[in-house]
Every structure is written in structure tokens, then in C-alpha cells.
Homo-oligomer: A and B are copies of this chain.
Amino acid sequence: MPKKIVIISPGRDCTPWIRALKKEEPNLIVEVYPDDTNREDTDFILTWNPPKNVFENYPNLKVIASMGAGIRHILKENKIPKQAEITKMDDPLLKEDMSYFVLTTALNFLRNIPLYFQQQNDKIWERLAYQRPEEINIGIMGFGNIGVKVGELLVKNKFNVRGWSKSKKSHQHIETFAGDKELTNFLEGSNILVCLLPLTDETEGILSKEIFQQLPKGAYLINVGRGPHLIEEDLKNALKNERLSGAALDVFQEEPLPKDHWFWNHKKIQLTPHTASVTDPESISSQVIENLNRLKKGEELLHVVSLKKGY
């Protein structure tokens, strides 16, 4: 079979990806769905948001590579062919960018920056008491390779960090919690809650009333996971009854966020347009090529996803 990669990513300008892949491997054939040819010769697909049942067209598919860290977009409307493996990206720059975004957002909460923007709008001069990182417990839900990196940058800046994950992890500077049993303990001490979970059937809707109720009064939510993690009505109520003092949301059920959504106008919500970390093809195309070469040599692939766990 030829050394070929087919990109399936409807609505995306694929030029940066093609350029980055060819820079890495000049002889590579790169084709973009639906204009790709000889589908029986295709064993390697690079994709984000593939259309329904698209993989059925590729009888010899071996690798479905997600363009990002998540893979639920692949499972949502597609059956995975038996002989195919799914891989995800492990982008060091993505982890770094995510870490700085969470740090920025947490510091803004401590220093009342969203309130000061509103005060400026209203021409109000009023000093508000600020908090210091060492006075804050920040809880990271989803303590995988991204969560750990985010936590470490926060520790470096004197925050007290705690991480929660499905199965127990340990870390020298970060207190860890695992599973349903330790969730209450984890939540009760978190003045800021950061969602970095993978999106799975289990984690969908996890940011709900049940969780918010267990946080200290006035806690702040940062959702940089996925939109469907959050039950929006529960957030609305938690802001109303002041269980939460505010929320920074970077991800949404529907993106772009519809113009008539109540998030836009809510004074206690800070919106950003899914910009916490943006995958840079330049920084990860070597990973894609590495896996393509491993496939050709019959070697074990990197960053393979467990379909059972879903991440």
C-alpha cells in the first residue's frame, strides 16, 4: 500500500495540516475527504468530527488518528472497524498552552479582573479585596497527562492543587483523589474547580447540581473540558443561589455559541471561543508520521486509545 494519509475534517481548511505533514515527509501522499481516491489503498486516516459511518468506505483501514487529545468525535456517529486502532495526539505545546490558560483564568478570578472590566464599562471606581494563590485550593477534575501539567504550573505559582481522576494517581506536590468514593472530599476543599476530563458516557453531564452543591460557597468553575460536561441549567441555578460566584467557559455544547444563548449576557460568566489551547499542526505532524511509519513496519503504535475507557 502507498504511504498515504487521508484527512477527514469537514468544514476545516486542511492546508496547514497538508503543509506540515509534507514538510515532515516530502514523499507522502495526502488526500482530503471527500475528494480522496482509491479508498481500498487507504490504511491511515487523520480526522476531526468525521461524518456518520464514513469509515465504512475504507475496507483496509488500520489507524484512525484524532487531530486532538479527544476521541469522542470519532466514536459519536461511527462504528470502528475491527482491525482499526484509534490514536490521540499528545501535543506538548497543547499541554503548555492549556496550563497557561488555566493559570490566567484562575489569576483573573483572584484579582477580580472580570468585575473590573464591568466596572470600567460602568465607570465605577471601587476597590475589591483580592486573594492570593496560597489561600486558594484549586481542584483539577481529570488528572491525566494534561491535568498533571496544568497542576504543576499552578503549584509553581503557589496555588494549593488537588487532582481527581477515575483511577488513583500519585504526585509529589499534588494531593490526589480517585473515584466516586473520594469525590466529596475532593470537592469540599476546592475554591476553584477546573474540568479537564475526557468526554465519555460517564463524564457527560458531570458538572451538575450534585457537584456544585459540594463545593465551598462562592467557588469558581473553569470548564476547559468539553461543552457536554456541563448541565447548563444547573450552572444557572448555582450562580443564582451563589453556590458558585462565577464561571469561565471555553467549551460549549454547540460551537460557535448561538447568538441567543443566555451565557453571552450573564455577568458572572466569562466566555472564550474554545481558545484555551489550539493544536498546531507544525508541532504534532511528526507524531502522525511516526505512527504511519510504525504501521508500515508493523510496530506498536504510540498514543493508542483504549476503547473500553474511551480515552
Contact A125 B270, CB 8 Å, known A107-B103, A117-B117? no
The reply to whether B116 and A273 form a contact with Cβ atoms under 8 Å apart is yes
**Is there an interface contact between B123 and A273, defined as CB atoms closer than 8 Å?**
no
Chain B residues near A157: list those with CB within 8 A: 100, 103, 153, 156-157
Write the A263-307 contact mask toward B (1 if CB under 8 angstroms, else 0): 010000011111100100000000000000000000000000000
Least Cβ–Cβ distance between A156 and chain B, in angstroms: 6
A110-B104 Cα distance, complex, nearest whole Å? 10
Q: Which residue of B lies closest to A272 (CB)?
A: B116
A114-B117, A120-B264, A120-B270 known; A130 vs B97 contact (CB < 8 Å): yes
How far does the alpha carbon of A125 sit from the alpha carbon of B256 in the complex, in Å? Answer: 6
**Set of chain B residues within 8 Å of A133, measured between Cβ atoms:** 100
9 CB contacts below 8 A, A to B, read A100-B107, A100-B110, A100-B157, A104-B108, A107-B107, A116-B270, A120-B264, A125-B273, A130-B275
Chain A residues at the B interface, C-beta cutoff of 8 Å: 96-97, 100-101, 103-104, 107-108, 110-114, 116-117, 119-121, 123, 125-128, 130, 132-133, 153, 156-157, 255-257, 259, 264, 270-275, 278
